[in-house]
């Protein structure tokens, strides 16, 4: 009886997630961290298989169900680079794991510039 109830709750079909969803999730999570001024124009790609996307400054690699992220950022002046970088890593990992449900293996933060304007 329990198996029938479990099958009744689960909807048939599959869910697919476009690679750009990962790029957007990572970008928005990084921009939400205090001290991040912008995502820097830079390398932008999603895996070797998925070369599309508008992920300027965000590079995503997908290996099975695991995600690796490279972020190229511009920070605001007078921020602690180490603290902001760690916060970006935490928030991006949490966003990808919570929203998309994929495991994050690595997040590399590249500070490209400081915004003094």
Residue ranges of domains in the chain: 18-115
Q: How much is the pLDDT for 8?
A: 59
What number does CATH give the domain 18-115? Answer: 3.30.70.1350
* pTM for the predicted model, two decimal places: 0.79
Taking only the tens place, the pLDDT of each residue in 65-111 is 899 999 999 999 999 999 999 999 999 999 999 999 999 999 999 99
From the list 9, 10, 29, the residue with the least C-alpha distance to 99 is 29
Q: How would you classify the pairing of strands 103-115 and 66-76? A: parallel
């Amino acid at each position: 009886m329990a198996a029938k109830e479990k099958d009744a709750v689960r909807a048939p079909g599959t869910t697919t997630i476009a690679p750009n969803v990962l790029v957007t999730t990572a970008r928005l999570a990084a921009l939400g961290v205090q001290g991040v001024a912008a995502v820097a124009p830079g390398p932008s790609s999603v895996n070797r298989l998925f070369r599309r996307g508008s992920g300027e400054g965000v590079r995503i690699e997908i290996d099975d169900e695991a995600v690796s992220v490279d972020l190229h950022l511009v920070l605001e002046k007078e921020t602690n680079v180490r603290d902001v970088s760690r916060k970006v890593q935490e928030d991006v990992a949490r966003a990808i794991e919570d929203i998309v449900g994929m495991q994050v293996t690595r997040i590399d933060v590249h500070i490209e510039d400081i915004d003094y304007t």
